[in-house]
Structure 1
Amino acid sequence: MKLKKIALGTLAVLAIAGTAGWYSLDKETRGLIATVPTNKDLLFWSQPQRDAAFRALDRISLLAKWHDIPAGNAPSALPPGPPLKLPLDVDAYLAGQRSAALIVLHDGKLRLERYGLDFDSKGRWTSFSVAKSITSTLVGAALRDGSIRSMDDKVSDYIPEMKGSAYDDVSIRQLLTMTSGVKWNEDYADPKSDVAQFNNHKPEEGVDALVSYMRKLPREVPAGTRWLYSTGETNLVGILVNRATKKPLATYLSEKIWVPAGMEQKATWILSKTGQEISGCCIQAAPRDFARFGQFILNGATVGGKPIVPEGWLEQATTSRTPIGQSGRGYGYQWWTYDTGAFTARGIFGQGIFIDPKRKLVIASNGDWGGGARDPSASAAREAFYLAVQKAVDDEGAAGAGGGAGK
């Protein structure tokens, strides 16, 4: 495959894969991607650069390498349902979210599907930390398969390079709930934070880049005594699953979920500099397949009526295992939880999969928030949207029940 090199002023040189997929992007998008600096973390790209690149991270060949996640030949149906009647201006909501995609499934039926930012159903948008919840599900699959013996096994049982580090006596359960007690800085606005630095770390010879970085971190408090959000810890989870299953995460995800659960399109997973999927981030998938993953979880992580995780494990994963200092909220096994029984996968810049088992709801969203990675106003608007959808479904149910009683 030939590579074209594009030099633009003082920006770093990019090599762009000359594939049909690359040339399927419009000229303006290709031009914007060509300005993406390879020497700067994506957290600090301009908004136009993010708009262009979030739909094409797996087509910027020197910025990142990736593994394919193959889909099967029998996509699961998403039958249309009646349009969802919402007490809000959906167009205004999409604009405020800078949304690339928004899908609502109710009882397995497609009730709302909208796109923005010149994106559509055939493209792949990056997930950011939505990948954490997918990685967590692979832990459950590895437990059921017997590749992982117990949630109380130590990290160093599977990653011997962590022996002698602060993670030596941390359990898989504590890693999944982010209660390791190890120091970490997840400040997306700080270029010197751990989350901005770890992927640029030069590893020791023969050691995975992430392992090399994480095993040098100090302990702050005893394991199990404090919750602290850490993308690095999810990346350790991914390495652990890789070591346990002896398979690349992309292969394992395809075998356990992507093919049997009926995803429609192949997805991709960005790799670290040492060739390991960055499991706390960066699965590129079609919006409908993100929604299908939510439906798969809503259906109990089952394929053909058979769960891929141990009995009772998914309930533990999707209900609070540790408080996070917010009323009515908690954290499970890489899922954000609500005391109402709903739970969500969340990624920076507006990525999300919200699941409400009580109402049989899945809401999948992709975007590029204009106010930054965590954008508090956009986040609050999204929570309000979830509530509006829940209320609309409740109102439909109440109207249906009232109509039935009157007959």
Structure 2
Amino acid sequence: MKGSAYDDVTIEQLLTMTSGVKWNEDYSDPNSDVSKFNFHVAEDGIDVTASYMRALERAHAPGTQFLYSTGETNLIGLLVSEATGKPLAEYLSEKIWQHIDAHQDASWLLGPTGHEISGCCIQATTRDFALFGDFIRNGAVVNGESIVPDGWFEKAVTAQVKLDEEGSGYGYQWWISANDIYQGKGIFGQAIYIDPNRSLVIAVNANWESASHRESSKSRARMFDYLTGLIDKE
């Protein structure tokens, strides 16, 4: 990525979507970055993610603006794969999947240059997504030790970027809400909702009529509120 708009961007800024690099996440626009980048033809020997992302322009100084970019989650996945020397699916299985008592195998779509599309595209049962969420809620502990460094989750599930005055924000790839609640959100309604204060995990697999649907999103939020309300009545 040397010589690109990512020259001065840190890994933490990738995690918090504050790189300042220009990106269009509009799934309804066939000319948006998120619509085009998986179909990009990369140069020989270059991963399609790196090839596409290094051609993007800078919009803001690094660390100054939040802009959600699936491409940057893909870029993080590429960094993890390069650092570990393993395909992401293998690393995920080794570090997480085999430790959550998953009921079924999962699958992960590959991009045109053979790497997992790390910004999306894991197919798993709703129950197994819930087990993954519970694994995270409990600190990702295997054999008495967390698989991540001390202090990681305190930062990951705390708003590193504040999005409003109500407590909403963005951590390390997690959407943060008030009262210590955090979520992983996918297109077409998928979500993992984690409320550590209530020891609650809710997983949702869905198929909304569009990738991002405002009314369906509101309905999902009402469902979460209803379920937490039932717990509070117990």
TM-score, normalised with respect to structure 2:
0.98
Gaps of 5+ in 2: none
SS in 2 for 1:276: coil
Which residue of 2 is the match for residue 331 of structure 1? Answer: 170
Q: Deviations over 1:4-47 (max 9, x none)?
A: xxxxxxxxxxxxxxxxxxxxxxxxxxxxxxxxxxxxxxxxxxxx
Which residue of 1 is the match for residue 230 of structure 2? Answer: 392
Q: Does 1:376 align with 2:214?
A: yes
Q: Does 1:318 align with 2:157?
A: yes
Alignment-mate amino acid for residue 255 of structure 1? E
**Post-superposition offset of 1:358:** 0.2
Q: Deviations over 1:116-159 (max 9, x none)?
A: xxxxxxxxxxxxxxxxxxxxxxxxxxxxxxxxxxxxxxxxxxxx
Structure number with the higher strand fraction is 1
**Post-superposition offset of 1:261:** 2.3
Q: Which of 106, 113, 129 does residue 274 from structure 1 map onto?
A: 113
SS in 2 for 1:355: strand
Q: Does 1:173 align with 2:18?
A: no
Q: Which of 204, 214, 218 does residue 365 from structure 1 map onto?
A: 204
SS in 2 for 1:292: helix
Structure 1 residues 243 and 360, CA gap change in structure 2 (3 angstroms): same
SS in 2 for 1:353: strand
Contact 1:183 1:218 (C-alpha < 8 Å) held by counterparts = yes
Contact 1:261 1:303 (C-alpha < 8 Å) held by counterparts = no
Alignment-mate amino acid for residue 42 of structure 2? P
TM-score, normalised with respect to structure 1:
0.57
Which residue of 2 is the match for residue 225 of structure 1? Answer: 64
**Post-superposition offset of 1:306:** 1.4
Which residue of 2 is the match for residue 139 of structure 1? Answer: none
How far, CA to CA, are the matches of 1:183 and 1:326 in structure 2? 25
How far, CA to CA, are the matches of 1:212 and 1:326 in structure 2? 38
Q: Does 1:305 align with 2:135?
A: no
Higher relative contact order (CA 8 A, sep 6+): 1
Contact 1:235 1:280 (C-alpha < 8 Å) held by counterparts = yes
SS in 2 for 1:364: strand
How far, CA to CA, are the matches of 1:278 and 1:324 in structure 2? 27
How far, CA to CA, are the matches of 1:348 and 1:324 in structure 2? 20
**Post-superposition offset of 1:325:** 4.5
Alignment-mate amino acid for residue 294 of structure 1? G
Which residue of 1 is the match for residue 129 of structure 2? Answer: 290
Alignment-mate amino acid for residue 374 of structure 1? S
Q: Deviations over 1:267-302 (max 9, x none)?
A: 111111000100000001111110100110111111
Which residue of 2 is the match for residue 211 of structure 1? Answer: 50
Q: Deviations over 1:208-263 (max 9, x none)?
A: 11111000001111000000000000000000000000000000000000012221
How far, CA to CA, are the matches of 2:144 and 2:183 in structure 1? 23
Q: Which of 170, 178, 184 does residue 23 from structure 2 map onto?
A: 184
Alignment-mate amino acid for residue 223 of structure 2? F
Structure 1 residues 233 and 326, CA gap change in structure 2 (3 angstroms): farther
> Based on CA coordinates, which of the two structures has the bigger radius of gyration?
1
How far, CA to CA, are the matches of 1:278 and 1:331 in structure 2? 21
Contact 1:227 1:323 (C-alpha < 8 Å) held by counterparts = no
Give the aligned length: 234
**Post-superposition offset of 1:206:** 1.5
How far, CA to CA, are the matches of 2:10 and 2:207 in structure 1? 35
Give runs of aligned pairs for residues 129-278 of structure 1, distance below 5 A: 162-278=1-117
